[in-house]
Amino acid sequence: MAEFSRLFNRLFKIKAKKLHVLLFFQIIAALACAFFTYYEVINWHIRKNPQNNVGIIPEWAIYFVFLAFFVIFFVYFITPLKSEKFNRSQTWRLAAISDGQFYLDNVLSTFVSFIYFIVLEFVAAIILLFLSYLTDKPVVYFFRDLLKSIQRNLDINVFWIILGTIVLAILSCFFLYFVISFFNFASRAILDFVPANINGAVVKVLHIVIIFGLIWFFFKIQNIFVYKVLLSVIHPTNYGLNFSSSLPFAILANAICDLILLGSNIFLINHFYEATEHK
């Protein structure tokens, strides 16, 4: 267990370090956007844009939040892809830990670094909004109204829906991680298995073909599994649930898929998926 947490810490630090850089660039980019909205440059002279009636700091905050959606979306997809290189690396795989645990470490550190990044985005956004609050009155009124409307609509049902959505989001997050690893592991395992005396370029093409084959096959199976098998067993109406949505079902179906994928990934990395050779 000591090995597990040490490895986790190391992986998390490496992953978080890159996200810090990304956040820094986002803040700078938002500032640059705000600057060029607030001022205009005419004939090499900078002057205040007469059409703009919002202060530069609120502009900055707005651009930051606007960029945040794209950046978080980008991080969500890129981090699991980047993490696959740790699974392939002999340097990492030599750690005195079972491959299954190593894989868990890798996935968990990716997830935690993603959550950590969202928290950082949140904190940065709040700081910027707070600065706007100090400099610009209309912003204050806007948020006061927003909070009031949220308070009015908050009842126990909404709370459960929010909680369920968060759980579902987390499960979907892992689903993406597991699916990416599964395609990586399975395609490699197949590539190591096929009888072949072929050179590098053909191997790459073959690898891509196998991945696409797997993706097609996977979603076929997934569809059948979720809608034919799971739905018939655990349909919400079977249990007379009076929830307005099928959220619990989606959570359960997602959790089962996640577990199956995790199981197969651990099996693949333990028995088939090799670290790359260095010489």
Q: How far is the CB of 272 from another protein (least distance, A)?
A: 5
Expressed in percent and rounded to 5, the helix, strand and coil fractions of the chain are 80, 5, 15
Stretch that binds another protein, among 2-10, 15-23, 61-69, 248-256 (CB under 8 A): 2-10
Question: What is the spatial distance between Cα 8 and Cα 235, in angstroms, rounded to a whole number?
Answer: 38
Rounded Cα–Cα distance for residues 224 and 119 (Å)? 37
Q: Sketch the per residue contact string, 260 through 279, with another protein: x for CB under 8 A, - otherwise.
A: ----------xxxxxxxxxx
User: Which tokens sit at 156?
Assistant: 């126990």
Of the pair 172, 270, the CB lying nearest another protein is at 270
Q: Which is nearer to another protein, 3 or 136 (CB)?
A: 3
Binds another protein (CB under 8 A): choice among 41, 94, 154, 224? 94
Using the rule CB under 8 A, give the single segment among 5-13, 60-68, 123-131, 136-144 that binds another protein: 5-13
- Residue 71, CB-side half-sphere exposure with 13 Å CA sphere: 24
Q: Is 239 in the site for another protein (CB under 8 A)?
A: no
Applying the rule CB under 8 A, the residues between 111 and 140 that interact with another protein are none
CA distance 26 to 32: 10
In three-state secondary structure terms, 42 is strand
97 binds another protein (CB under 8 A): yes
Q: How far is the CB of 9 from another protein (least distance, A)?
A: 7
Shortest distance in whole angstroms from residue 277 CB to another protein: 7
Nearer to another protein, 63 or 86 (CB): 86
In whole angstroms, give the CA distance from residue 272 to residue 184: 12
The answer to whether 225 contacts another protein (rule: CB under 8 A) is no
| Contact call for residues 269 and 107 (beta carbons, < 8 A) | no
- Give yes or no for residue 91 binding another protein (CB under 8 A): yes
Q: Which tokens in the block code for residue 81?
A: 């892809």
Count the neighbouring beta carbons within 10 Å of the beta carbon of residue 223.
10
89 binds another protein (CB under 8 A): yes
Neighbouring residues of 228: CB distance < 8 A, sequence distance ≥ 6: none
Decide if residue 4 touches another protein (CB under 8 A).
no
CA dihedral 252, 231, 218, 15 (to 10 degrees): -10
Q: Which is nearer to another protein, 91 or 245 (CB)?
A: 91
- Which residues touch 5 (CB under 8 Å, ≥6 apart)? none
3-state secondary structure of 48: strand
Q: If binding is defined by CB under 8 A, does position 95 make contact with another protein? A: yes
**Smaller CB separation from another protein, 11 or 68:** 11
Nearer to another protein, 7 or 61 (CB): 7
Contact 268, 102 (CB under 8 A): no
| Segment 183 to 202, residues that bind another protein, using CB under 8 A | 192-197
Interface positions with another protein (CB under 8 A): 2-3, 6-7, 9-10, 86, 89-99, 101, 192-197, 270-279
